[in-house]
């Protein structure tokens, strides 16, 4: 994995490749103007009507809206070029030297949520508001190192929501002359090395291509279809859905490593969104667990909590 500034002499060649037939953009950086709003709208849509977890989907929609407003009101003030020149994987979730910018984002998210969340959620938000910088950094380090059990479950989602906006702002500000490249292990985000939420088969200019969506920096990276992202095997894949073959949400299970990842098909439902549709299809996760498969991805609204 890695992201780097492409030297000028290579840029010309890249443009030629882009114009060529069959060019596959390896990475799609997030567009923050619409990302969280689209997610909030989709969550509300999925949470309308008879959905058994409607309340939770609507709550998640409020968080996504708060994320949108927080990123809008607190723009990133860093020089991405100097950050990208540091190392080959400068935005790595585990090693990136964070600034306190994400504390501002967290404060903004909490302020947005306080008036709209259920009474039961408020104490967690109030506690987070009072947490010291050291406590916040401790929880962030634990989450980014995938030590989810070290962070109280009622706090981890909000910490992650702020960290995610921070990383998404950095990913969205990566200058056009930088390129993220695939590493050896395609299951992890080439920008921040975090895990995917789910994957999407796209329509439009990237018609028919499958991209994995990062659960931290919201970048999407290309991964060929009909191949397990977790172990790269192709021989024992199966596709599961709750209704029929035409379902827009399926789980791709791999008999070689025993894991599964959801695939969302834009051609079947143009509005599918990586986080929203993954969260709304939680019953499919329960089915997959019954079948003996383990989830190879994490949804930012469903953290494995404190044990
Ligand atoms: Zn990422
Ligand atoms: Zn596998």
CA pair distance 30, 274, nearest whole angstrom: 12
pLDDT digit string (tens) for 46-81?
A: 999 889 999 999 999 999 999 999 999 999 988 888
Q: Which band of pLDDT confidence, cut at 50, 70 and 90, is reported for residue 235?
A: very high
Would you kindly state where each structural domain of the chain is located, as residue ranges? 2-8+29-172, 186-295
3-state secondary structure string, 55-74? HHHHHHHHHHHHHHHHHHHC
Cross-strand bridge partners of residue 265: 201
CA of 148 to the centre of ligand 1 (A): 18
CA of 228 to the centre of ligand 2 (A): 5
CA of 235 to the centre of ligand 2 (A): 9
Inter-CA distances, 214 with 28, 195, 228, 285, 299, Å: 11, 6, 16, 19, 10
Q: Which band of pLDDT confidence, cut at 50, 70 and 90, is reported for residue 175?
A: confident
Average pLDDT, integer, range 10-24: 54
pLDDT higher than threshold 50 for residue 1: no
pLDDT higher than threshold 70 for residue 249: yes
- Run of H or E residues at 284: helix 282-290
CA of 249 to the centre of ligand 2 (A): 19
3 state DSSP class of 213: strand
Q: Which band of pLDDT confidence, cut at 50, 70 and 90, is reported for residue 206?
A: confident
pLDDT digit string (tens) for 255-277?
A: 999 999 999 999 999 999 999 99
CA pair distance 7, 153, nearest whole angstrom: 44
CA pair distance 23, 192, nearest whole angstrom: 23
CA of 214 to the centre of ligand 1 (A): 5
pLDDT score of 2? 60
Average pLDDT, integer, range 264-292: 96
pLDDT higher than threshold 50 for residue 168: yes
CATH class of 186-295: alpha beta
Quote the mean pLDDT of the chain. Answer: 90
Which residues lie below 8 Å from residue 84, measured CB to CB, with a gap of 6+?
A: 3, 4, 5, 90, 174, 175, 178
CA pair distance 117, 65, nearest whole angstrom: 12
pLDDT score of 203? 87
- Run of H or E residues at 210: strand 210-214
Phi, psi of 296, rounded to the nearest 5 degrees: -100, 10
CA of 123 to the centre of ligand 1 (A): 30
pLDDT higher than threshold 70 for residue 10: no
pLDDT score of 64? 98
- Among the bound ligands, name the one nearest to the CA of residue 188: 1
Q: Which CATH architecture has domain 2-8+29-172?
A: Alpha-Beta Complex (3.90)
Of residues 234 and 186, more confidence is placed in 234
- Among the bound ligands, name the one nearest to the CA of residue 217: 1
pLDDT higher than threshold 90 for residue 12: no
DSSP 126: H
pLDDT higher than threshold 70 for residue 142: yes
Question: Does the CA dihedral 147-106-214-291 come out positive or negative?
Answer: positive
Q: Which band of pLDDT confidence, cut at 50, 70 and 90, is reported for residue 3?
A: low
């Amino acid at each position: 994995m890695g992201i780097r500034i492409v030297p000028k002499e290579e840029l010309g060649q890249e443009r030629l490749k882009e114009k060529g037939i069959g060019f596959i953009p390896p990475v799609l950086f997030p567009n923050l103007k619409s990302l969280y709003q689209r997610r909030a709208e989709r969550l509300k849509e999925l949470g309308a009507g008879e959905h058994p977890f409607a309340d939770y989907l609507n709550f998640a929609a409020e968080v996504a809206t708060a994320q949108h407003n927080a990123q809008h009101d607190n723009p990133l003030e860093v020089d991405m070029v100097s950050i990208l020149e540091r190392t080959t994987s400068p935005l790595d979730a585990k090693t990136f030297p964070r600034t306190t910018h994400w504390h501002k984002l967290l404060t903004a998210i909490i302020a947005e949520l306080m008036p709209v969340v259920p009474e039961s959620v408020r104490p967690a938000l109030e506690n987070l508001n009072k947490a010291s910088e050291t406590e916040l950094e401790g929880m962030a380090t634990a989450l980014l190192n995938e030590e989810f059990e070290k962070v109280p479950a009622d706090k981890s989602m909000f910490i992650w929501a702020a960290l995610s906006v921070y990383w998404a702002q950095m990913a969205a500000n990566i200058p056009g002359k930088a390129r993220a490249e695939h590493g050896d292990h395609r299951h992890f985000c080439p920008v921040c090395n975090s895990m995917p939420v789910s994957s999407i088969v796209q329509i439009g200019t990237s018609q028919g291509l499958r991209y994995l969506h990062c659960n931290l920096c919201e970048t999407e990276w290309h991964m060929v279809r009909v191949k397990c992202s977790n172990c790269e095997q192709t021989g024992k894949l199966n596709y599961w859905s709750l209704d029929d073959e035409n379902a827009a949400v399926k789980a791709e299970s791999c008999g070689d490593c025993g894991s599964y990842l959801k695939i969302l098909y834009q051609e079947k439902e143009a509005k599918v969104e990586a986080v929203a549709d993954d969260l709304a299809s939680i019953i499919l996760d329960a089915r997959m667990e019954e079948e003996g498969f383990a989830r190879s991805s994490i949804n930012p609204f469903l953290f494995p909590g404190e044990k």
